[in-house]
Amino acid sequence: MTNSHSAPACRALVVEGGAMRGIFAAGVLDAFMQGNHYDFDLALGVSAGATNLTGYLARRPGRNRRVITELARQRDFFNPARFMRGGHLTDVNWLWHQGLEQHPLDVQRIWDSMPLYAVGTHIDSGEAAYWQINDSNLHAAMVASCALPYLYRDSVEIDGEWFVDGGVADSIPVRKAYELGARDITVVLSRPRGYRKLQYPHGMMEQVQQRMLQHLGEEAHLLSAMMLRADDYNDSLEFIDHPPADCRVRVIAPPAQFAVSRLTMNIDRLHQGYRMGLAAGTEYLLSYDDYFGANLQQTPPPSLFARLQR
């Protein structure tokens, strides 16, 4: 069964990736689930943002937190020794399928919720690909969206073409959401407001290019996209800060003291990052224009606040 939603969207939820930094979005989306907040017409995610959205749309509170804090800290996923021997540093294929085995998803609830898009990067062109997720592409698209070049040694085949991590070409697909018709966009970032991605220093860029050429072979367009990633990322942030006149962008971002990086394995930092996301998601619901409007006629679920007191 494929997702039958096709009408132009008005409201979109966009979730950035960032590997272990996705723990913040896990908290935000758990707050949304506890508040029964699904007031969107479509959702777009990149890398960990895409996999986080599957747990959200399947209505599995706590699932994303467990996948990140338990499975993603195992050696089967993150293994520097394996990487030094020529294997994956981060085995995203193992993580996705192990997550399904230990914490199953009700995919029918995903299809019944709203259209879900995941982002990948085309190996040959270096351009972003946006897949509307359905039964036939769910597993490959989720792995591809997370397959960061060099750290995950394989590319992923979808419909006879090859892809890697969507963050290479479009880390925050807010402009794609606008293109799809969204005019009220909520963005969950994985870095604090004010962050801007820096270009590699000139000497370091040459070293990165040399290593990537050894790994990627002749995929020059992909390499070019990786070198231009900072510009594209910052362009998305510029759109967020200064959206078109007919568009409203609401931002949920970690606080300045958020201490989780892409490969943070410290459990205390991860739990703290999750609590920050839970608090930010709750604060968003309390300030959201329509949350206590005519459609709900209710006060916030007590669990939203009880969790924050722990």
Catalytic residues: 47, 165
Residue 251, strand partner residues: 187
Kindly state the tokens that stand for 234: 């910052």
CA distance 260 to 39: 28
CA distance 183 to 195: 24
CA distance 141 to 136: 9
Max CA pair span of the chain: 59
Kindly state the tokens that stand for 223: 């390499």
Integer-rounded Cα Rg, in Å, for the chain is: 19
CA distance 151 to 148: 6
Q: Which residues contact 94 (CB under 8 A, 6 or more apart)?
A: 76, 77
At 16, the amino acid letter reads E
Residue 131, strand partner residues: 118
CA distance 15 to 17: 7
Dihedral-angle region of residue 32 (phi above 0 means left; psi in -120 to 50 means alpha; beta otherwise): alpha
Kindly state the tokens that stand for 247: 């568009």
Nearest of 193, 173, 181, 186 to residue 246 by alpha carbon: 181
